[in-house]
Structure 1
């Protein structure tokens, strides 16, 4: 039988289990054929998670900077501060990176520039995609 494991109204996982299966303490187990992780459960029915917006292929440099300014960096400050410091520290070794950061009008999600900065800041692809989604909603 297919069991959705639910905590705080959200499906965390779905497992194949025997009828006598007992979920861990604090987790509700409900038989389901359609629900999956991130689905909602209101006590009676399962609701599919809202579809995420597509990841934009490009955003403006203003949108990128503003979104980075809104996110705290793990070591303090914002991600914008971290990117500015990183670009400045690599100016002599990677002048194209500095030029792109200073003069580009758009940021392409698939660019080597974005990939390089994301890797150095330990940003996952999922985090980067969400950053682009959020940035695309910013209007100057």
Structure 2
């Protein structure tokens, strides 16, 4: 999809992210973004080259490596009116393989304030860490 759009729009280099979901044999496109996307932020911690480094290499006409994961990983967004105080930060950082990225934005409902990347030995370990971080950040949701 992205390659066809680049060709149709005569774009020579850059990034165009396509956020999509697959259900059975159908593809549902949610968003086109002319930038790296938050769905790839996990590459900061679980890939040999992050999406950010690959973008810089593209723009600077440097060699571009094939993206490859170095471990299993995932990400949880920090959204909304969350008080990220020292106690909460300390608790987040007790999760082995967790890295906190805080954007230093003013907190308000619905606003993305940061994210947490986690890595683990397998997908199940990553899921457990993400579930536990979700409970810590959003205890009132009761969806676990």
TM-score, structure 1 length as denominator?
Answer: 0.24
* Greater share of strand: 2
TM-score, structure 2 length as denominator?
Answer: 0.24
